[in-house]
Amino acid sequence: MKQAPILITGAAQRIGLYCAKALHQQGHQVVISYRRYRPLIDELQNSGIDCIQADFATAQGVQTFIEQVLGRYSELRAIIHNASDWHADNDSDPDGVFDAMMAIHAKAPFLINQALSPRLCAEKADIIHMTDFVAQTGSAKHMAYAASKAALENLTLSFARKLAPGIKVNAIAPALICFNEWDDIAYRQKTLQKSLLGIEPGEQEVLKTIDWLLSSDYVTGRVIPLDGGRHLNLP
């Protein structure tokens, strides 16, 4: 019997891409969303990962994505909300930045969960929100981003209450997971010093947490921090 698929939003690059490939290699059927086409999409399609284009910055983009998923799949094993964008606060357009961050990180997951949760498997199902360390600490330069991730963490609690006991709803809140290839040595050293463990853990750390949440029978309404003890690295 074919397994119901795991849906991962924003999974055409970095952590989302790593997890999509790894879960597919584990034997899961995987469906992803991507914002912009790139040659990699053809490779993923050919490997058996279903790829759906979607722009979550617009209400129409979210609705079109929902309709495509509903049209293709009668059942889902899990929804992993990984789609994200990262904008610094902009004094010349504060409304635009705030609205964009809220649309992608809070409104899109809210609408997708509302529409697709009836398709989640009755026996074992999960929703996982990817949030951020700054949801709990705030950010002087990325206030809109931090606020939108905090909103997503709150939605984790609300959906956990609404969808129990059939669907577990949790969040993963990373700090540093992996550097960009263009990050210079000075930036890397400064960032590593922010956590107690002082390492770049890599994408596999997120995958391990996803695997654990998917296999658990008794964890819901929780935000799992992946921060290397950064919250305790006080002056």
**Active site members:** 145
Instruction: Return d(Cα 72, Cα 1) in angstroms, integer.
Output: 17
d(CA 111, CA 60): 11
76 phi/psi in degrees, rounded to 5: -130, 145
Q: Residue 28: how many CB atoms within 10 A of its CB?
A: 18
Element spanning 165, H or E: none
The first and second tokens of residue 112, run together, are 């997708």
Using CA atoms, how far apart are residues 146 and 92, in angstroms rounded to an integer? 19
**Helix, strand, coil % in the chain, rounded to nearest 5:** 45, 15, 40
144-159 in b/e form (b: 16+ CB < 10 A) is bbbbbbbbbbebbeeb
Q: Which residues share a beta bridge with 52?
A: 33
- Distance, in Å, from the CA atom of 101 to the CA atom of 30, rounded to the nearest integer, reads 26
* Residue 222 bridge partners (DSSP): none
